[in-house]
């Protein structure tokens, strides 16, 4: 067990790393998940490890889309399960969505472990084991989903989705909500609602917005969705990264946040 001192300037990032490592050790997260985490961290560092106002608007639009959906499904992979298991179960409950394990590097064993892990964090039903449906246009391993889950969904939350699958889901006519720290990645660019933020902040933020919007009527939800501009949100995140308008918490002006 690694103890991370809470006053460490990179506390949140170190705790996140530790959760991913533990996920790999528990057979929940793939080794590729470690690499994905490293890529994510680099973008998060450039974003100042904070939720941009445009990402908060995206989270609100995502909540409105989910609350308006007929059959929303949240797709869970090995990184999501390691980083935000309880928060993902809470989001599903808040918007009445199904949870489905859907993996890039599929093994039945890992699907089972992730489903158990979600149930340990309060989930009732977890889909992904039936594997009796498909996403057309993808190879069998990557295109297999549950017929009464992702295949039947009108809205899918796909955190950290790969570009091919995001495009294939889009071609099926699904409304996609993608959470990804890289605004240049193909999957957020395909999404109706791209949330350029860390999963760790974005998932509970969508839940908070959903709770806030509980009881809103259809017209109000529709207005929020219509006001949201996906291209503007992507461009805003890219500008924030390029211009480095973030605060690293280091006042020394040497461009890093070591405080030296």
Site for ligand PTJ, rule CB under 6 A: 30, 32-33, 36-37, 39-40, 43, 77-79, 83, 103-105, 160, 162, 179-182, 185, 198-200
Shortest distance (Å) from residue 25 CB to ligand PTJ? 15
88 and 177 Cβ atoms separated by less than 8 Å:
no
Structure token pair of residue 129: 């084991």
Place of tokens 């996609």: 176
For ligand PTJ, which is the closer residue by CB, 33 or 72?
A: 33
189 is in an annotated binding site: no
CA 48 – CA 237 distance, rounded (Å) = 11
Q: Among residues 53 and 163, whose Cβ is nearest to ligand PTJ?
A: 163
CB atoms within 10 A of CB 43: 20
Quick one: 64 or 200, whose CB is closer to ligand PTJ?
Answer: 200
Q: Least distance in Å: CB of 191 to ligand PTJ? A: 12
Residue nearest to ligand PTJ (CB): 40
* Eight-class DSSP state of 254: S
**181 in a known ligand binding site:** yes
3-state secondary structure of 176: strand
66 annotated among ligand-binding-site residues: no
Quickly count: other Cβ atoms within 10 Å of residue 121's Cβ.
15
- 201 labelled ligand-binding: no
**How many residues make up the chain in this entry?**
260
Q: Which residues line the annotated binding site for ATP?
A: 17, 39, 180-182, 186-187, 198-199
């Amino acid at each position: 067990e690694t103890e991370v001192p809470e006053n460490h300037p990179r506390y949140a990032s170190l705790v996140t790393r530790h959760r991913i490592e533990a996920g790999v050790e528990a057979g929940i997260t793939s080794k590729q998940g470690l690499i994905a985490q490293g890529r994510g961290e680099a973008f998060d560092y450039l974003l100042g490890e904070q939720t941009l106002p445009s990402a908060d608007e995206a989270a609100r639009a995502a909540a409105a889309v989910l609350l308006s959906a007929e059959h929303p499904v949240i797709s869970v992979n090995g990184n999501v399960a390691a980083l935000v298991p309880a928060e993902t179960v809470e989001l599903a409950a808040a918007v009445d969505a199904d949870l489905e394990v859907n993996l890039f590097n599929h093994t039945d064993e890992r699907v089972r472990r992730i489903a158990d892990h979600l149930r340990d964090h309060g989930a009732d039903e977890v889909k992904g084991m039936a594997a009796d449906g498909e996403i057309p246009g993808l190879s069998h391993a990557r295109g297999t989903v549950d017929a009464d889950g992702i295949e039947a969904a009108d809205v899918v939350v796909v955190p950290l989705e790969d570009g091919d699958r995001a495009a294939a889901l889009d071609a099926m006519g699904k409304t996609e909500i993608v959470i990804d720290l890289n605004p240049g990645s193909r999957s957020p660019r395909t999404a109706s609602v791209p949330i350029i933020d860390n999963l760790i902040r974005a998932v509970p933020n969508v839940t908070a917005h959903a709770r806030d919007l509980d009881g809103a009527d259809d017209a109000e939800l529709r207005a929020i969705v219509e006001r949201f501009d996906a291209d503007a949100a992507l461009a805003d995140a890219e500008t924030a990264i390029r211009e480095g308008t973030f605060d690293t918490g280091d006042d020394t002006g040497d461009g890093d946040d070591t405080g030296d």
